[in-house]
């Protein structure tokens, strides 16, 4: 019997669920499409989708399960919910930033936040950032925090130099 993940994020798209899942699974290692369900005749008066249209796509990103739903234009993504991508190196920060922001909102936000081409918000975060801003030395913490607030894509070298003074 397969293990069921207790909490499963569901991403509501207008009609781009399959396209978005293909995009996301191409970026993250250890990712795959698990299943695709399609709309049928049942409930057509409610959902309004032609039979055979993709309804949901179950997928994994780096082992984390998600569901993508083609639910129509009623709801839009916003920054109230986002996904953090924790990175061990600047190379990882650069990779995920470049891949996820490709074709997205050109107005990247500060502190490592970006919006992808589907409107989903992501924060690409180097693991060392948490250490720097939680440093016991309040001055080092302050300097790292101030540096972070000035950045869009986070730069590990600049964060470390700022913390060091």
- Tokens describing residue 117: 């081409």
Q: Do 82-164 and 10-70 have the same topology in CATH?
A: no
pLDDT for position 2: 61
Rounded Cα distance, 134 and 5, in Å: 31
pLDDT for position 162: 95
Show Cβ contacts of residue 65 under 8 Å, excluding neighbours closer than 6 positions. Answer: 5, 8, 34, 58, 59
Chunked into runs of 10 residues, the chain (165 residues) has average pLDDT values of 80 97 97 96 83 96 96 90 96 97 82 94 96 94 96 96 94
Domain at 82-164, CATH class: alpha beta
pLDDT for position 1: 53
pLDDT for position 71: 92
What residues does each domain of the chain span? Answer: 10-70, 82-164
Q: Which CATH number fits domain 10-70: 3.20.20.60, 3.20.20.70, 3.30.720.100, 3.40.50.300?
A: 3.30.720.100
């Amino acid at each position: 019997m397969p293990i069921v993940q207790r909490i499963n994020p569901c991403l509501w798209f207008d009609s781009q669920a399959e396209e978005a899942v293909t995009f996301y699974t191409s970026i993250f290692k250890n990712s795959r499409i698990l299943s695709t369900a399609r709309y049928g005749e049942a409930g057509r008066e409610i959902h309004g989708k032609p039979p055979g249209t993709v309804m949901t796509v179950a997928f994994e990103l780096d082992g984390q399960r998600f569901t993508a739903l083609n639910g129509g234009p009623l709801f839009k993504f916003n920054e109230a919910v986002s996904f953090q991508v924790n990175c061990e190196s600047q190379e990882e920060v650069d990779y995920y930033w470049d891949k996820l922001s490709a074709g997205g909102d050109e107005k990247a936000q500060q502190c490592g936040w970006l919006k992808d081409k589907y409107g989903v918000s992501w924060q690409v975060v180097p693991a060392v950032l948490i250490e720097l801003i939680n440093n016991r030395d309040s001055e080092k913490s302050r300097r790292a925090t101030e540096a972070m607030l000035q950045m869009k894509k986070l730069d590990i070298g600049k964060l470390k130099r700022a913390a060091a003074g």
